[in-house]
Chains A and B, each alone.
Chain A
Amino acid sequence: MNDEKSEAGELGRMKLNKHWGYLFLILIIFIIPVFIKSEYYLHILILSVINIILTCSLRAIAVTGQVSIGHAGFKCIGAYTSTLIAMRLGFSPYLSMLIGGLAALMVAGIIAYPITRVRTVYFSMLTMFLGIVVTLVTSEWRSLTGGTTGIINIPSFGTTTVFGIGIDFNNKLPNLYLALILMVVVLIFLYSLDRSYIGMTLKAISQDESLAASIGINVARSKAIIFCMGCFIAGLAGGFYAHYWGILNPDSFGLFHSIYLLIYMIVGGTDRFIGAVIGAFVLTLLPEVSRVFQEYQPLVFVAVLYLVVFLLPKGMIDLPHQMRFLLRMVYQDRVKRNA
């Protein structure tokens, strides 16, 4: 009796400690950018934060076993809607970003129900062609989107005063903080979703659809809801990207952007939530770090992909486990030899 109580207490403390740990991590993440002086690195960090948001939203959809290869298309919808609303109607960028997300949500909502009937490979192919169509339409609808030349001079988040400190969003640092805030909100939302009842039903669906349906889970509705949610977040990230970067071009939302997001997710590891974050962060930084190799730079990326996919089939998050396994093997070997 007493043991159980203390055990429960310990568990509770651990849970509390875990939350403190997360808070501490967030604090560190928020402090680090202050010390980065280079504009270029700040830019890369902002891009990686956007990629983390996108990859996590992609993972939320992929949890149900539906691998989307058209996620960049929804980012594109969000980015263009947000830009056009801010430029033509003069809305505040914060509001237009939200409307961009809602536009992506709306498009996703229209197709969500029919799309969720389509399974596995066909779902991937469908979303892939959807993404391609979105970018092709943006490059063709010249009067609205400026065609392949794109849109320039998109209004940034402007200047605001918070606690008496003036913040100019034409600099990189405030943008990075805004991106981080967005990221933390999105991650907390997606993480709690992952751990909630809805998250459990989604995992049940991914394991066995008919079994999940037999115990009373509305499979189509759950899939449709999570698909819409993921696309909303992608649209939001697209809106942020547009107002941060100031230039939009259909090429930056092409098929390969979607495939890269998928790669970030798979290479990071799909089993755990943190995998998508790690994958997106590492693989966004990798091409920049390996810039010294010049034209051979893609080969470095390929080398990392193949190392992960052949040695760590469960993704980068499996690295500590594999290392421990390897160390134990080496250690046991040595013990045997000494004996």
Chain B
Amino acid sequence: METVWQGIFNGLVMGWIYILVALGLTIVFSIMRIVQFAHGEIYMLGAYCTYWFSVVFGLNVFVALFFSAIVMSLVGIILEKFLFSRFRGQIDGSIIVAIGLILLLQTIAAIGFGTQDKWIPTTIPGSLNIWNIKIPWERALSVITGIILVFILFLFIRGTKMGQAMIATSQDIEAATLQGIDVNRVSMMSMAIGCALAAIAGGLMGAIFGVQPVMGSYAMEKGIAVIILGGLGSIWGAVIGGLLLGLIDGLVPLGSNTTVASIIGFTIIVLILIIKPQGFLGHE
């Protein structure tokens, strides 16, 4: 029984990191109508950035995460401005731009940082014991960080003018423009938020599993899986999808291994897409 609880807990950790990656993807998708395949690479760069700030500059890991989020959101704004803004709503063009970015950023990371694993120091050493389940603090903190960020995002979108503008843009770009919303600024904002979330997810994951130049594609696959599961463009859908996928990834390996977990997770997604193409909470 304890292993099952342990599995559920590990699933929650994975799930919240998937959710952070997926939220960025889903925001970018609903505003710009593109699937940002290079999102995993932003996540990877975010992890390297956190490593850089925490090890080389010797900052506290949470401060490093914060700085890396800021740096990556600036990177996101630049990418939106110069690359993605031309390809809003175009599947073809955006895929090529994204794949170009994947190759570019992976090559730069491999040349600049080397291909060995880098380890971000643990946030708080030690672990928590509840009912004989060992919960390392760093993992517990990544769950807490995830929950806090999702609530902040929710409040931002519900409570601020920018957030309302983002909702309007995601519903109908033309109508939003007619209401005086600057769609360019909204897309930049969406990309900045998405990249910041990806950077934090990368930093948290890097503390648990290490940082490598190729860590992005796994996160990208899982992130896309989550937003498909929950429905493209829905925040709570992404949360539910992420938790479900995380639980599959946490529980199935108890009986077999992680590959089987991925197979089961992705097969469920294929079936859901066939039966209900819009996902759990998708509209459209």
Contact = CB atoms under 8 A, between A and B. Distances in A.
A259 B107 contact: no
Given A121-B232, A126-B270, A133-B267, 12 more contacts: A111-B274, A133-B266, A133-B270, A136-B259, A256-B217, A259-B37, A295-B110, A298-B104, A298-B106, A302-B104, A309-B93, A313-B93
Contacts of B266: 129, 132-133, 136
A111 B266 CA distance: 15
A266 interface: yes
A275 B107 CA distance: 28
A306 B100 contact: yes
A245 B217 CA distance: 27
Nearest to B275: A114
B103 A259 contact: no
A129 B228 CA distance: 10
The 8 closest A-B pairs by CB, nearest first: A114-B274, A298-B103, A305-B100, A126-B273, A302-B100, A298-B107, A118-B277, A129-B266
Looking at chain B, what size class is its interface with the partner chain?
A: 35 or more
A267 B96 contact: yes
A260 B270 CA distance: 22
A309 B35 contact: no
Nearest to B97: A309
A306 B86 CA distance: 12
Contact of B274 (A115, A128, A137): A115
Nearest to A111: B274
A74 B270 CA distance: 15
A329 interface: no
A325 B91 CA distance: 27
Contacts of A262: 95
A255 B110 contact: no
B273 A140 contact: no
Interface residues of A, number: 43
A55 interface: no
Nearest to A297: B107
A124 B35 contact: yes
A284 interface: no
Interface in B203-258: 217, 221, 224-225, 228, 232
B4 interface: no
Nearest to B35: A121
B269 A129 contact: yes
Contact of B99 (A133, A139, A263): A263
Contact of A301 (B103, B110, B262): B103
B103 A302 contact: yes
B111 interface: yes
A130 interface: yes
A122 B277 contact: yes
Contact of B277 (A119, A129, A306): A119
Given A118-B273, A298-B104, A299-B104, A140 B92 contact: no
A123 to B, nearest CB: 9
B273 A309 contact: no
Contact of A270 (B92, B106, B225): B92
Contacts of A137: 263
Interface in A176-214: none
B217 A255 contact: yes
A67 interface: yes
Interface string A236-278: 0000000000000000000110011011001100100000000
B236 to A, nearest CB: 19
A259 to B, nearest CB: 6
Contacts of B221: 132, 255
Could you say which of A139, A140, A309, A313 has the most chain B C-beta atoms within 10 Å of its C-beta? A309
